[in-house]
Chains A and B, each alone.
Chain A
Amino acid sequence: MLRRMMGFMVLNPLSGVIAVLAIIVLVASLLSPNFLTSYNMMIIARSLAFIGLITIAQSMLMILGELDLSLGAIGGFCGVIGGILMVQVGLPPWLAFALCLLIGALFGLVNGLLVTLLRLPSLVLTIGMAGVYGGLNLVLTRGVAITGIPSSIGFLGTGRWLGLPIPFWIMLVFLAIASFITLKTPFGRYMYAVGSNAPAARMLGIHVDRVRVGVFAFAGFLAALAGMLMVARLGSAQPSIGDSWVLGPIAAAVIGGVPTTGGIGTPLGAIFGAAIIGVIENIIVLFGISPYWQSMVSGAIVVLAISLDAISRRYFKRE
């Protein structure tokens, strides 16, 4: 009975990742009194907010069997454009914010159109586009941050509600939206169809390319949102904002049950994957591990987590 329950839990992709997260949290709270404090939880929530938005975007693309490696660059570039619009052009902050989200969606749209019209593999194309967006970013800023962001949008980055940062709540709202789209709407079904067998989807009369372009645009929108929230939080538009948003979200999605081959998994699972990585990185800092060791340790723990997951899954499947 117990064995069967465990088997069910391991085979259900979400419960597996939740169990891993629970174990890590448990171990961390036993080892460090500073882990389960509200201050520390807030720090984790805040970093999860930004990475989480990109993870939602990336996981939706991965369900389609696509990837967008330029999401970080889009986020950074949109943040910089937002800074320029607010500080140098003097647009009202809210208008600038909305415009940036649109621009992000537009960049995503361009990626999607190039992928579908030219039939390019998204991996290669978006590596190139990451260079284009990142390069434009440097051309506009010359690597210097834009300071003096109006404080009226500051609370979007620094404010709190019920003890948790506003960006975290915003991320949860978009997680809910993304989950709704993927699980409850025909468009979401089409995403899974395209991801698991694109020719068969075409045979059913599904507009495969429209689905792809739509998700790319939504991903660009989310990347821009993450970038703008970061600008609001920092009070300045740093050109380097999205630099660390590229590989983490992909690993998070894979840990959370969205393989790069597409067709399965959910954004919610991916967020749990992101939480695992976020908690691990937090623990490393809490334990005072030397910064030189940090990336090696966090990488090793990620590899360990996905290996455990794969092994236990195979074991229970064989039963």
Chain B
Amino acid sequence: MAYLSVEGVGKEFPGVKALDGVSLELSLGEVHTLAGENGAGKSTLVKILTGTERPTQGRVLIDGRDPQQDRALFKTIAYVPQEINLFTNLSVAENLFMPFSRSHAGRWLFDRRGLEARTRPWLERFKIAAQPSDKVRDISISDQQLLQIARACTQETMKVLILDEPTSSLTDTEVARVFEVVRDVIAANCAVVFISHKFDEMFEISDVISVLRNGRKIATRAVGELDHRELVTLMSGQEVDITARMQPEGPLGDVLLKVEGLCGQGFEEVSFELRRGEILGFAGLVGARRSEVMQTLFGFLPARAGRATLAGEPWRLGDPHYSVAHGLFYLSEERKYHGIFPGQSVRRNIGMALLRDTSRWGVIDAGRERREVARIIADYEIKTPTMARNIALLSGGNQQKAIIGRAMACAPRVLIFDEPTKGIDLRTKMEIYRLMKALAERGVGVVLVSSEMEELKRCASRIVTMYEGRVSGEFDITDASSSALVAAIHGQRRDDHAA
């Protein structure tokens, strides 16, 4: 019998129907994946399952009872959000057992030693390489991700664990750790709801996959009855070619960007060349310092040594204003922290980069700004009801398109994409790939930093690999073997590998 059943659930927000008549069942001991593009209704459904939103139609039954009458039932549902949501200045042990009231950590006096002792088995079980007393800000991102899951599991009443894109910032080895934990949880007769945009992961871990599209449930299938292609078609409602190569075509041009011996925060002696008409990929593990290299080149982080030239001209490091004025843009993987201006309208967010064109004698021409922004919204198919909408309320994919559109409006010469498709659905992903390809073919230098090997192989013309702050290899896509690439990412130099 199903532990949790969703019966014809709908949720209407003013003007939007986020969910419409969704029914599904969740049994103990199985991993149920929710698949769907951004805006399909996955997060609304999760909010209803965790009790943060009430359905406007239908009902949810937990263990045969309605949790709206008995809210204690929601305590059997543990939720791990996509973003890291920890107290970074507190210790691992404190984070694990927060709030202390449910963990018997001492009701009145704080028993630090006892808490830390009880933390150790959890760290072992989840293979977290940290001490209970370590501050969370000092442990790695993947350990933080696992700690979040562990924290959800400390809820003794847990029967259902909801994981919202737990792997989006993890590498393959780390994903394997998460999956081990998921299998553990399943073995303890709990159910797992898994949300991801990565197909390989869905097929590897799921028992059942339910597909949502535009707020409706399209299908629920056992994982054996479904293949890759069919899933994509169900999710997007149309056939999408997920294997097409997206390398730019046409002749390679001259060297556009040349970096020599760049040293900065955590990396040494990084050199590479970017030619016109190519997409240069950067591969590496989390912590390989690829983002730091790019941010240093852009001027956001200070450089200790090294130099660069753009189209033969010497490049000034350490000044983002100079970089933007000279056509080098960096699109951060941290949209929330480095990309959007939350609380500001879509119009202001996009308009921010157009001010040189939309203002005359120091005054913004509102009509002109509206026209320019409307053009970008149309060109990049940014889905927003009006341009006055707060950008933080758009889906991640649409935020990303807004940021890309904004940079494109500045006539860039070099665009650095740092994990541009993180947390973005397939169709939007394809649009971003097409965009990068078109850019490169127009002679803009494109750098693509990505942790997804598939993405790099599909898009990049050449791949530079980094390991612990140094360049560990460079591969032309036509003769790059997977094993050589993987070896380079894990720090074995190409020649070591051959030997």
**Residues 328-352 of chain B: 1 if any A CB is under 8 Å from the residue's CB, otherwise 0?**
0010100001111111100010011
Find chain A residues with CB under 8 A from B298 CB. 203
Q: Is B277 an interface residue (CB 8 A)?
A: no
CB distance from B320 to the nearest CB of A (A): 5
CB distance from B362 to the nearest CB of A (A): 5
Q: Is A314 an interface residue (CB 8 A)?
A: no
Q: Is the CB of A197 within 8 A of B341?
A: yes
Find chain B residues with CB under 8 A from A37 CB. none
CB distance from B322 to the nearest CB of A (A): 8
Q: Which listed residue (A189, A207, A264) contacts B321, Cβ 8 A?
A: A207
User: What is the CA–CA distance of A246 and B489 in the complex, to the nearest angstrom?
Assistant: 57
**Residues 348-360 of chain B: 1 if any A CB is under 8 Å from the residue's CB, otherwise 0?**
1001110110010
Find chain A residues with CB under 8 A from B339 CB. 200, 203
A-B contact count (CB 8 A): 71
Q: Is the CB of A205 within 8 A of B355?
A: no
Q: Is B363 an interface residue (CB 8 A)?
A: yes
User: What is the CA–CA distance of A193 and B342 in the complex, to the nearest angstrom?
Assistant: 9
User: What is the CA–CA distance of A193 and B391 in the complex, to the nearest angstrom?
Assistant: 13
Find chain B residues with CB under 8 A from A193 CB. 341, 344, 352
User: What is the CA–CA distance of A197 and B330 in the complex, to the nearest angstrom?
Assistant: 16
Q: Is B300 an interface residue (CB 8 A)?
A: yes
Q: Which listed residue (A192, A205, A263) contacts B320, Cβ 8 A?
A: A205
State how many residues of chain B have any CB contact under 8 Å with chain A: 29
Q: Is the CB of A192 within 8 A of B355?
A: no
User: What is the CA–CA distance of A206 and B362 in the complex, to the nearest angstrom?
Assistant: 15
Q: Which listed residue (A190, A197, A319) contacts B340, Cβ 8 A?
A: A197
Describe A's contact surface by its main secondary structure.
Answer: helix
Interface centre among A189, A197, A200, A206 (most CB of B within 10 A): A200
Q: Is A196 an interface residue (CB 8 A)?
A: yes
Q: Is B14 an interface residue (CB 8 A)?
A: yes
Find chain A residues with CB under 8 A from B356 CB. 186
Q: Is A202 an interface residue (CB 8 A)?
A: yes
Q: Is the CB of A199 within 8 A of B344?
A: no
Q: Which listed residue (B14, B325, B364) contacts A186, Cβ 8 A?
A: B364
Interface pairs A-B: 6 shortest CB-CB: A205-B324, A186-B355, A205-B321, A196-B341, A263-B343, A197-B341
Chain B residues near A (Cβ < 8 Å): 14, 298, 300, 320-325, 330, 332, 337-344, 348, 351-353, 355-356, 359, 362-364
Chain A residues near B (Cβ < 8 Å): 184-187, 189-190, 192-193, 196-197, 199-207, 263-264, 319
Q: What are 22 pairs between A and B in contact, CB < 8 Å?
A: A185-B359, A186-B362, A189-B348, A189-B351, A193-B344, A196-B342, A196-B344, A197-B341, A197-B342, A199-B337, A200-B339, A200-B340, A200-B341, A201-B341, A202-B300, A202-B320, A203-B339, A204-B320, A205-B322, A205-B323, A205-B325, A207-B321
